[in-house]
Structure 1
Amino acid sequence: MKNKIILITGATDGIGKETAMSLAKQGHTIIIHGRNLQKAENVRDQIIAESGNSDIDILVADLLLLADIKRAADNFRKKYKHLDVLINNAGAFFNKQRETTQEGFEKTITLNLFAPILLTELLLDLLQKSPSARVINLSSEMHKRGGKPDFNDFQLEQSYKPDRAYGLSKLYLIWVSQQLAKQLTDKGINNITVNTSHPGAVSTNFGQDADKGFFINLVFKIAYRFMDNVQDGAMTSIYLATSPQVEGITGKFFDNRKKMVTPDQKHYSDVNQETVWKYVQSIIEPYLPSTKVLLL
């Protein structure tokens, strides 16, 4: 790939930061997203110093607030006329007690599902201006462990557990990403691919600060000793962002070794996928310009 404009969410720590560093070393223009301006500026300066690439920019937004995602997308649009790669890397595993955002949505579903899909749809027109755009949504093997979906309880008011919320959010992200890929293809938009990936179990600070309950906290601490490093965790994202081997491939799921695999099918059906798609669209629609809603 020639020099590309690449936006990476959650790029001030862990896998996202490593992904940004590696892609910067390849000479691409990188926009790193973070919640904290000072931290994002520090990471930007570090990447410039280590990569020798000065084409590093920042985008600050709180992805737990859908209105702030819209604001950030508007700011991005003022500076960039197209986007080649969007890596929706940001995600989180929250506490044992259910929490909601200021806008009233359960936090896990908001950050891991609503946020990446809203940002993608807000930037679709910029992606369309790229000759070959790629959207990479980070899911997880945990998508197999969320249990049976309850479409009468999307916000998990009746059945919240942190591992269930995380697992379902990652399952739904796969389904919605597949549906988005299909929608684009059906509309003849063939220059944008949308894929999901599992980064692997990686030794970052992910989930370490959350009070997930005694048992899950213990599992995290034990598993941490056996996890991959961030370089391994970033490998598939980098591959999907740059490799000519995946040119034109869309609606697929890749594991942490760059292999295309089939996500868990236990709860999948066309009807279930469509139900989740319509629900997500109903949540994000108020934050989309009318032209964007009509596009999809």
Structure 2
Amino acid sequence: MESKTILITGSTDGIGKVTAKALAKQGHTVIIHGRNLNKAKTVCAEIKSETGNEKIDFVVADLFLLADVQRMAGDFKKKYERLDVLINNAGAMFGKDRETTKEGLEKTMALNLFSPFLLTQLLLEILAKSPAARIINVSSSAHAMSGVPNLNDIQLTKNYSLGSAYGQSKLYLIWVTQYLAEELKKTGFNNITANSLHPGTIKTEFGQNADKGFIINLLFKLSMLFAVTPEQGAENTIYLATSKDVENITGRYFANKKVAKPNPKYYSAENEKIIWDYCMQIVQPYLNR
């Protein structure tokens, strides 16, 4: 297998870390991302030791802050001339009360949608240098349980609930991935594919620390009884990152290493463009490459 340069956000623990280790074992150059410098260094050393692959590096950034995403992308481009695979894995579910970042953005949308959107835009120029680049956005089947999206209030300033915030952020991530795939075709970037995926319900610490309210907390704990291991959950991401079967497939949503159909209930080309344009408006101040 040809060695690839792969960047994985949110990869110092959970499914992201498992993905990084598996790709490192295959001999790829893997750049992990974390929020904490010491943890990123530790995980980097751990992956090198366990896999025997010295081509492991790390970047540090707070993906809640678009300014930090911009800084991280700049640092990455100074160090690496090309990128073959971008895996936007970082994501989270938050508590029952609406919270905003230091930049004034709703936290769920900031991390799960705006951050990967911006990072992808900023790294397109070095993805374009790869003969066959892949953008992989980790979504969730929870997109089907998002409730009715209010496209006039995308950041849920009026009717916030954690379920709506998380589900809609993952729904919109699927939509912008589809839109990006078409934009890449139109602009002649036929060497870059963009796909999204559902990794499964994973047995990790994901979402278990936030206070979601008694009923949601209980349901979340019960769902863990049917969850798969991080190793099983990472299989879909690893497949999309490396398999020759998906070389020319773009704009699709995957589950269990197969093309699946995202929930069409609220989809329209018009709604998809509204979300794309809104994301572009949010990230515009940070797009000076």
TM-score under structure 1 normalisation? 0.97
CA distance in 2, matches of 1:159, 1:185: 37
Code of the aligned partner of 2:124: L
Correspondence for 1:265: 264
Correspondence for 1:8: 8
CA distance in 2, matches of 1:94, 1:254: 25
Correspondence for 1:29: 29
CA distance in 2, matches of 1:225, 1:61: 33
Mapping of residues 1-296 of structure 1, within 5 Å: 1-255=1-255, 257-289=256-288
The SS at the match of 2:45 is helix
1:190 positional shift: 0.3
The SS at the match of 1:57 is strand
The SS at the match of 2:189 is coil
1:5 positional shift: 0.4
Instruction: List structure 1 segments (4+ residues) > 4 angstroms apart after TM superposition.
Output: none
CA distance in 1, matches of 2:206, 2:70: 25
CA distance in 1, matches of 2:239, 2:4: 14
1:60 positional shift: 0.2
1:139 positional shift: 0.3
The SS at the match of 1:268 is coil
Superposition CA RMSD, Å: 0.7
CA distance in 1, matches of 2:247, 2:129: 16
Code of the aligned partner of 2:233: G
TM-score under structure 2 normalisation? 0.99
CA distance in 1, matches of 2:96, 2:8: 28
1:128-182 Cα shifts (integer Å, max 9, x gaps): 0000000000000000011111011111011110011000000000000100110
Code of the aligned partner of 2:242: T
The SS at the match of 1:123 is helix
Code of the aligned partner of 1:275: I
CA distance in 1, matches of 2:201, 2:100: 26
For structure 1, the 5+ residue unaligned runs are none
Moved more, 50-59 or 217-226: 217-226
1:225 positional shift: 2.2
**Share of identical aligned residues, percent?**
58
The SS at the match of 1:225 is helix
1:99-129 Cα shifts (integer Å, max 9, x gaps): 0000000000010000001000000000000
The SS at the match of 2:99 is coil
CA distance in 1, matches of 2:147, 2:225: 26
1:173-230 Cα shifts (integer Å, max 9, x gaps): 0000100110010111100000000000010000011111111111111111221001
CA distance in 2, matches of 1:31, 1:193: 20
1:33-58 Cα shifts (integer Å, max 9, x gaps): 00000111111111011100011000
CA distance in 1, matches of 2:38, 2:214: 33
